[in-house]
Amino acid sequence: MSELPTFITRLFPYRARFAPTVFGRMHYVDEGEGRPVLLLHGNPTWSFLYREVMAGLAGGPYRVVAPDLIGLGLSDKPRELSAHTLRRHGESLLELVQGLELKDVVLVVQDWGGPIGAWMAARAGGRVTGLVVMNTALLKPERFRTTAFHRFSRMPVVSDVAFRLFNFPLPVLGRTQGDPSSISGDVARAYAWPLRKVVDRAAPLALARMVPNGPEHPTVAELTEGDAWARSFQGPVELVWGVKDPILGRALRRHREVFPRARVTETPAGHFLQEEVPEEIVAAIRRVADAR
């Protein structure tokens, strides 16, 4: 791994740690002592997304662990699209959780971190005891209505050119935000930096295509397992949502139905709400961690 440039380390002053997994070497941040809080990002971001949340939890009774999904951030980057499956991502995450001996975990998820985290939790033997859910599709789809973004990702040739050569969707992340300036300047550069090499850009396209467009899609089986875990989960849950998210803003309704007792915080943020309302996320994590 190349040494991080100064413009990133100024914003993300955390020690890089690495763990071997079945899917490749996984980068993660591991800070503090106390109850584990596992922060899971999605596509096409990395643990950098949670830097303000980690800062807000610093000094508290928490062991904050923020991994990078394989293919993203500072983790290994398999070059074959077919290497990326929900199961492989879930297995590598489970291996990290077991290797770090994380128990009584507050699981915090957004985007692909939701279904991957739920699949992992279903196989983690009760290690997850608290849950904070943000702008994700944790559940098996009711109907297979993909977004324009996900339909574009399946267009032959054009999508490969956009994702591989032009590092799509990194240049337009700000358009998914309530405040587009929340992902700009050095912050936008920090998201693009781990994928600066064309050969390393398989994961964003693969993860986009992992969103099921029909009942026969291979991801549906793993989504069904995660859905069952979520519906049976008995621990404290909070939902924190960016309602201006053009991708998953409307997904809040289904999550309210599945978690009827969850406290819900609606915010004017967009998809990557960690950049806009980290204080709301920190507050939700603290409440879930304090609920016994």
Q: Who's near 251: CB < 8 A, 6+ residues apart?
A: 135, 136, 137
- For residue 208, which of 160, 252, 142 has the smallest C-alpha distance? 160
Residue 271 annotated in active site: yes
The two counts, helices (H) then strands (E), for the chain are 11, 8
- For residue 182, which of 272, 243, 284, 51 has the smallest C-alpha distance? 272
Q: Who's near 16: CB < 8 A, 6+ residues apart?
A: 1, 4, 27, 29, 74
Q: What is the DSSP letter of 140?
A: -
Instruction: Given the residues 68, 200, 245, 255, select the one marked as catalytic.
Output: 245
Q: Using the Cα atoms of residue 157, residue 163, residue 166 and residue 168 in order, give the sign of their dihedral.
A: positive
Instruction: Given the residues 68, 111, 200, 227, select the one marked as catalytic.
Output: 111
Residues involved in catalysis: 111, 245, 271
